[in-house]
Amino acid sequence: MDHFFKVDWQKLFVPNDSVLEMFIRGTIMFFAVFALLRIFRRQAGALGTADLLVIVIIADAGSNGFTGEGFSITEALVVITVVVMWDWLLDWLGFKSKFAAKVLESEPLELIKNGRVLRRNLEKELMTEDELDAQLRLQGIDDRTKVKQACLEGNGEISIIRYDDEKDTDNTASRRTVN
């Protein structure tokens, strides 16, 4: 019972490594990862699956370099650089090759067509109609029949094409994207 209430105050507050070493590690890791991401990452509106994977791997590899748990800063930066370069290379391949793009990127999945919900496609993505309605409301759409087409894009966003409002004079559908 004693081990539930015993607190090792020294372990809580006294660092195992030099505070200066931790400061240097943190500084070097921050600026090195920042520079890598500025060089190799393009700015995008939303995080895709690959972006999330890269962030998780960088966080894991970076934490080893920050704390020094069996990794030197150099080792951590090599792992992070390899991950960032592979991510960049796959993006480049997808840009240069239609075949690679088809393999690497998900095709858009139609969720609404001519105002009607495609339930089978919602089921594929385990998305409820309430979740779809919430995305429509975020764009000011309160009625599905006002939607000509809604697609779940490869990056996880939902793009919406509305039917023209009667007030529109140019008779073109307006395109909206929802996170």
Q: What distance in Å separates the CA atoms of residue 86 and residue 93, rounded to the nearest whole number?
A: 10
**Mean model confidence pLDDT for the chain:** 81
Digit-coded pLDDT (tens) for 72-85? 888 888 888 888 88
Average pLDDT for 29-57: 75
- DSSP code of residue 105: S
Strand arrangement of the beta sheet that strand 116-117 belongs to? 116-117, 109-113, 147-152, 158-162, 175-178
Task: Out of 3.30.70.1450, 3.20.20.140, 3.30.240.20, 3.40.33.10, select the CATH number for domain 109-178.
Answer: 3.30.240.20
Digit-coded pLDDT (tens) for 82-117? 888 888 888 899 889 999 888 888 889 999 999 999
What does the domain layout of the chain look like in residue ranges?
Answer: 13-103, 109-178
User: What is the pTM (predicted TM-score) of this model?
Assistant: 0.60
Digit-coded pLDDT (tens) for 120-152? 999 999 999 999 999 999 988 999 999 999 999
Neighbours of 18 (CB within 10 A): 10
Between residues 167 and 69, the one the model is more confident about: 69
Q: What torsion, rounded to 10 degrees, do the Cα atoms 90, 92, 95, 96 define?
A: -110
Average pLDDT for 8-18: 80
- DSSP code of residue 100: H
